[in-house]
Structure 1
Amino acid sequence: MTDIPRRTASRTAKLASLPLGVAGRAAAGWGRRLVGGDGEEISAQLMAKSAEQLFAVLGELKGGAMKFGQALSVFEAAIPDEYAAPFRESLVKLQSAAPPMPPADVHRMLAEQFGRGWRNRFQDFDETPAAAASIGQVHRAIWKDGREVAVKVQYPGAEEALRSDLRQLSRMSRLMQPLVPGLEIKPLIAELRDRMEEELDYRDEAENQRAFASAFDGDDKVKVPRVVASAPRAMVTEWVTGRKLSDVIRGGTQEQRDKAAALLAEFHYSAPARVGLLHADPHPGNFQVLDDGRLLVIDYGAVARLPEGLPRPLSVMVRLALEDKPEELLTLLRDNGFVRAGSPLRAEDAVTYLAPFTEPLRTDTFRFNRRWLQRQAERVGDLRSPDFNTGRELNLPPQYLLVHRVTMGTLGVLCQLDADVPLRGIVGHWQPWIFDAEDESAGRHL
């Protein structure tokens, strides 16, 4: 398409305006302080306006910018309330909404992917998109056999936009960091860039979804829509819809939030054992609650491939922390590359660092909420905290990076739900060696 370079330049200019806008407001804030304005009030106003601009631009641009915003939305619960509150609604919008693609572009993409006679595959096709995401939008249609289906169509030029956005966001990461305290932006952008290729080919997504649909077929807790047809830039699946998880977060009763949280935890911890895959995009826009009580899970473009289930070292690490065995834990951490070479890390410091993360597994039911997650972010992110120095001695091997981020993202959504979750029982069912003493020998021979 001849206008892609022009679009890319426009997108880059809009993204570049973000740090400039932040800098301009900061300068104005200094001026107001010099004439006697209240410092904390001015800082809060600047943060609110900067955040509002950030998420407005991310939502408008789709592509990598919107993907980045969706990733941030998962960790919203870890951001202090005084920063998160002003743009919480903007984060929610990023989970499932974006400006629609013109019908002519939709028709052109479907003709390219399914042939000029693409309409013959459908009894009916709704031109108005039912949903939009970072690199594509969804249309409701009736398949030729009468089934109601969802047609996912990739935006023209999505690949170029994605690459351009992530390059620009990476350059801006240090300037944007103050807008999301408690979350490291640069590694997050780097991981999004690494996952980009697999998300651009919908045939890979279709293969992932087929695997999940087969594993969860007939399940009484989770529903995965079946794939009907797929091509590199378009995909057709069963149409299934329910109540958005973001709606449950905002207005659900305590019982509804508790149930949704338990379903989400069950899906996350069972998938590696049942499918050999881990759904790696756990923002609320990818989950709905059906009328029959099941959790609907969509968007399988990003997965972690775990053919042998969740890596055993991660489970044994949790077990040793729960059992308060510092020396064995430190040995396991060193043997598996979790401690930087030559580090003087003490065993008791490693246990202290991990203890709060194992807290949800020490009781039958644990209340996940924003304050708990904020305390963890503050604890490991505060330069004055002993845990900050411990964290500097630790290392996250590349093969565990995606699993760690997805698990933390899932916990972030549980905290947004403000829910009581029977996590110990869920984890114990799918990773029994964490609590079963008979499996201790398995952990020693990793």
Structure 2
Amino acid sequence: MSRTARLARLPLGFAGRAALGLGKKVTGFAEEVISDKVQQRTAEQLFSVLGQLKGGAMKLGQALSVFEAALPEHLAAPYRAALTKLQDAAPPLPAATVHRVLAEELGPRWRGRFSEFDDKPAAAASIGQVHRGVWKDGREVAVKVQYPGAGDALVSDLKQLGRLSALFRVLQPGIDVKPLIEELKSRVVEELDYTLEAKSQRAFAKAYDGDSEILVPKVVAGSSRVLVTEWADGVPLAEVIASGDQAERDHAGRLMSTLHFSGPARAGLLHADPHPGNFRMAEDGRLIVLDFGAVARLPKGLPAPIGSLVTLALRGDAEAVFAGLRDEGFIPRDSRLEPQVVLDFLLPMLAPIAEDEFRFSREWLRAEATRLSNPKGPGYALSRQLNLPPSYLLIHRVTMGSIGVLCQLEAQAAWREVLDRWLPGFEAE
């Protein structure tokens, strides 16, 4: 069966099981439409189809998996099991194919650069898989090998998935998939070039060299389709989410937040792929950060207006917040919105830093998702009158993804302290 046919089968199978429900008007979350059994079967088929595709479908599944915390629990459970599998699972390449890519990229005598190389992949990603080896100098290494034809597959899958956005709107209510797909498409060329990823990883590794909280494996060698880095053992963040105790989840969450806000300040880069498959917890308590194919280049750090506007909002200065948002392009110049109404709309989003400590939770995220996505609510109407300037698009998407992971962790910490240290323009009270 062709890739396009496999993708096409997904909405047809869903429609066949939920034809009666799809006749109803969907205005909020999907409990009116989809029974628990249909949810379970659709989740299984979702993984079956997306999991077979090494390109854009899997990448989209990874991106969406961090948002499952926004769904009501009885709907989220079957999707959590299916989507989180996409974070580390994909059909492996045959060893002969792996050897061919290594020969093309590292030379016909590539084996001489390793003292050991394991043909069985240790992990898989959306456009490549990782093998474990030992470099000729004795260092344990991770060898990321890109799938042949990954570029064409990625573009093809994303084009097809763009046509299926209505299906994902039912599976993940309140999340507009189209902008996410467009952003993924815009990054295709960059993510396919492992030399660019190596450059980003070197910048992060240098910035966090010797850090007591964050570990970035150093780059050993590479080419456009092969990347060799030092190996770093740790517990997958998905395991911490599933079975870690509260202290472990709090610790992991605080380090995730620290990476998010400190990366632009220290490396001039924002790690832009915050799904759990890209993180491990080392035995010494450090956060191991993997996969630097997606980054936002911020040589001057995060935009200072973010910190200053958050500070003004927490102080209740509605007029100054309104003026600042208008200057940055979030509010149209001719807007007739009332400043206090805008501030009241924003403050619930700032709850995590309005308190000395805050626990992220699925319940909080669901409440916010409902507030912002219910067409009958005032939050939805107001959000339609605001803009998201292009320069803030990726920062916004990564921040939302990171919040999704913090809610999966249900992590509690003094988040305001992290911002006070790393966010330009922010002043804690």
TM-score (norm 2): 0.95
What is the 5 A alignment of 1:37-436?
43-340=35-332, 342-431=334-423, 433-435=425-427
- Structure 1 residues 117 and 30, CA gap change in structure 2 (3 angstroms): closer
| Residues 252-278 of structure 1, C-alpha deviations (whole Å, 9 max, x = no match) | 011111111111111111111111100
Contact 2:417 2:428 in 1 (8 A): no
Q: Would you say the 8 A contact 2:249–2:411 is kept in 1?
A: yes
SS at match of 2:122: strand
**Structure 1 residue 313: Cα displacement:** 1.6
Q: CA separation of 1:224/1:348 partners in 2, compared to 1, >3 Å: closer, same or farther?
A: same
Question: Using a 3 Å threshold, how does the CA distance of structure 1 residues 42 and 265 change in structure 2: closer, same or farther?
Answer: closer
Cα deviation for residue 215 of structure 1 reads: 0.2
Deviating above 3 A after TM superposition, structure 1's stretches of 4 or more consecutive aligned residues are 28-31, 39-42
Q: Structure 1 pair 161/435, CA: closer, same or farther in 2 (3 Å)?
A: same
Contact map agreement 1:19 1:176 (CA 8 A) in 2: no
Structure (1/2) with the larger helix percentage? 1
* Partner secondary structure for residue 52 of structure 2: helix
Structure 1 stretch displaced more, 177-186 or 132-141 = 177-186
Q: Distance in 2 between matches of 1:42 and 1:173?
A: 17
Q: How much does 1:379 deviate?
A: 0.4
Counterpart contact for 1:113–1:233, Cα < 8 Å: yes
Distance 2:410 2:229 in 1: 32
CA-to-aligned-CA distance 1:80-106 (integer Å, 9 cap, x gap): 222211121112211111110111110
Report the residue type matching 1:127 in the other structure: D
Query: Relative to structure 1, is the Cα distance of residues 27 and 315 closer, same or farther in structure 2, using a 3 angstrom cutoff?
Result: same
| Distance in 2 separating the partners of 1:390 and 1:86 | 32
Are the counterparts in 2 of residues 29 and 46 from structure 1 also a CA contact under 8 Å?
A: no
Matching residue's letter, 1:390:
L
The AA in structure 2 aligned to 1:108 is R
> 1:36 corresponds to which residue?
none
CA distance, structure 1, for counterparts of residue 183 and residue 341 of structure 2: 28
Amino acid at match of 1:322: L
- CA–CA distance in structure 2, aligned partners of residues 48 and 179 of structure 1: 11
Over residues 106-147 of structure 1, what are the superposed CA-to-partner deviations in whole Å (9 max), with x where a residue is unaligned? 011111101111111111110000000100000001111111
Counterpart-to-counterpart distance in 1, 2:34 and 2:301 = 50
Which consecutive unaligned segments of at least 5 residues does structure 1 have? 1-8, 32-38, 438-446
Stretch of structure 1 that moved more, 341-350 or 123-132 = 341-350
> Where do 5+ consecutive residues of structure 2 fail to align?
24-30
Residue deviations 1:170-211 (CA, integer Å, cap 9, x gap): 011123311111211111111111111110000000000000
Give the counterpart letter for 1:360 in structure 2. Answer: P
> How far off is 1:58 after superposition?
1.0
User: Alignment partner of 2:148: what SS?
Assistant: coil
**Deviation at residue 436 of structure 1 after TM alignment:** 5.7
Does the aligned pair in 1 maintain the 2:264–2:270 contact within 8 Å? Answer: yes
Residues 286, 345 of structure 1: CA spacing in aligned structure 2 closer, same or farther, 3 A cutoff?
same
The percentage of aligned residue pairs carrying the same residue is: 57
* AA aligned opposite 2:370: E
Letter in 1 for 2:47: F
Alignment partner of 1:69: what SS? helix
Residues 357 and 413 in structure 2, CA contact (< 8 A), matched pair in contact too: yes
SS of 1:60's partner is coil
Q: Matched residues in 1 for 2:215 and 2:22: separation?
A: 53
